[in-house]
Amino acid sequence: MSQQYPALLVIVPLISALVISAAGWINKRLCFPIAVAALGVAAYSSIGLLLRVLDEGAIVYRLGGWDPPMGIAYYVDHLNGLVLAVVSVVAFLNLIASKKSIELELGDKTAPFYALYVLQVTGLLGIVATGDAFNLYVLLEITALSGYAMLAMGKDRAQLSTLNYLYMGTIGACFYLLGVGYLYIVTGSLNMVDIANILPSLYESNAVLGAFIICLVGVWVKMAFFPLHAWLPNAYTHGPSAASSLIAPLVTKVMIYVMIRLILTVFTPEFAFNILAISKPIVWLACIAIFMGAILALAERNLKKMLTYIIVAEVGYMVGGAWLGNRAGMTGAILHIVNDALMTLCAFLVVSNIAYKLKGYAFDDLKGLVRKMPFTMGAFVVAALSIIGVPPTCGFFSKWYLISGAIQAGQYAFMVALLFSSLVNVVLFFRVIEICYYEPFSDGHGHDQHAEPMAEAPLTMLVPLFIVAAGLVLVGIYTGDIVNKIIEFAIPQGIV
């Protein structure tokens, strides 16, 4: 059974997505249990897979028994084992937390939504698990298309902003495909390990250089790396809560994973860091991304949109960390994939809860929220602390590695950018906390004039939220284990 985990991980959700859309015709109530079962299996197998990788090392699974480079191989090592576990667990928790909100916001569209949801997760898991550069493109498009469809189900300007996302996303995917095409022309292979074996003799080739840069730009568009970020804030803000809280934590992080995979496996660190002398300018770009993300977030008066700009800044953290070219920076980037997925999930689940109970999530709607939804606010504070980077929450520890990497690489601008962003996050979150906590103004001696009764979100939304919030602290405390037992092996020995 455990031999089949890599396939189960992708096949089960894929088939379930089809089953769900069929089941929707019979009875809409069938969709949710099927989706839960599918993602439950995915989460279970991904964790099983990670444990196996920890025991035995990397696992190669040949789809249909075809040998690479002809057939498609799924290649799971410490790096994507970790990311797979994060993706599937986040998707599973979010599914359970979002049931009520999906029913409220989407009405008669719940059945297609569940199908798309599961399809999206299929795509994400496939992107992470695959060892084939072209297969990755296919799964990228599955993810993207299901994502567009889900986000476009939102209200107001959702369709327009999704259309914008569609244009940008398609351009990004095309770039990636073009890059893979160049690689195929040069190497005659699509298998990542195979390409990596053939490339070293071709490092001087302009085609390889072109392939790398084009792939990189394509992935940057997809991850909303500044200045290619403009599609993200609106698309994520206007989408349905359940779609935002799935896509926001996962898609950008999975794209970061793809970038790291390109650096570490396909093109090798030797090529990316030493032969191409582009680390420094990319880290500078990352600094600008962090500054701009932070400043744009400051200008927002809407909680959900503010969070989307924080994602833009966080993408800068990870790109910068990966391109510092040393072990600490790379560790920070990989660790931040895990941490940022959890942090963003926590923050967006809070937004879901608020959207479920209140009419909106603009700052003006949040007045007195502490009294109305104390538990949701409690989780929000934990998410805020983690995003700011206060120990012992996990956000602190990835920032620790990133800053360490910046110091070791002598890239002090990156350190300053990270600290600046932390300080801006303090302002951002305490501004929200202030509004939720102080307003409406009390009568000077603190006795409330308009004490509103508590109106908390249902337990099915609160419990997953609390699990995630607790996870932020637990992952922080067990950072040592995650780094020493998993990430340490995910990074090649060559990077010091």
Binding site for other proteins (CB under 8 A): 385, 388-392, 397, 400, 403-404, 407-408, 415, 419, 422-423, 426, 430, 434, 437-438, 441-442, 444-448, 477-480, 483
Minimum CB separation from other proteins for residue 480, in Å?
Answer: 3
Q: How far is the CB of 423 from other proteins (least distance, A)?
A: 6
Report the residue number, 154 or 389, with the smaller CB distance to other proteins.
389
Could you report how far apart the first and last alpha carbons of the chain are, in Å?
38
Element (H, E) at 143: helix 133-151
Find the shortest distance in angstroms from Cβ 404 to other proteins: 6
Q: Kindly state the tokens that stand for 120.
A: 């999206």
- CB closer to other proteins, 48 vs 378: 378
DSSP 47-87: HHHHHHHHHH--EEEEGGGPPTTTS-EEEE-HHHHHHHHHH
Q: To the nearest whole angstrom, how small is the minimum distance from the Cβ of residue 402 to other proteins?
A: 10
Rounded Cα distance between 399 and 331, Å, is 10
Rank residues 316 and 389 by Cβ distance to other proteins and give the closer one.
389
Which is nearer to other proteins, 180 or 403 (by Cβ)?
403
Q: Give the count of beta carbons closer than 10 Å to the beta carbon of residue 460.
A: 14
Shortest distance (Å) from residue 364 CB to other proteins: 17
What is the closest distance, in whole angstroms, from the C-beta atom of residue 433 to other proteins in the complex? 9
DSSP letters for 195-247: HHHHGGGGTT-HHHHHHHHHHHHHHHHHHT-TTS-TTHHHHHHHS-HHHHHHH
Which among 319, 322, 284, 290 has a CA at the least distance from the CA of 411?
A: 284
Identify which of residues 193 and 474 has a Cβ nearer to other proteins in the complex: 474
State which amino acid sits at residue 210.
Answer: G
Nearest distance from residue 436's CB to other proteins, in Å? 12
Give the residue with the Cβ less far from other proteins, 272 or 403.
403
Burial of 109 (0-12, 13-18, 19+ CB in 10 A): middle
DSSP 437-489: HHPSP--SSS--SSPPPP-PPPHHHHHHHHHHHHHHHHHHHTHHHIIIIIIHH
In 3D space, the residue among 245, 473, 494 whose CA is nearest the CA of residue 352 turns out to be 245
> Which two three-digit tokens encode residue 45?
């197998």
Q: How many whole angstroms separate alpha carbon 76 and alpha carbon 64?
A: 17
Specify the residue, 112 or 378, whose C-beta has the smaller distance to other proteins: 378
Residue among 167 and 438 whose Cβ is closer to other proteins: 438
Q: Least CB distance from residue 92 to other proteins, whole Å?
A: 26
Min dist CB 403 to other proteins, Å, is 5
- The CA distances from residue 275 to 168, 202, 217, 261, 312, in Å, are 30, 12, 18, 18, 29
Residue 279 or 479 with smaller CB distance to other proteins: 479
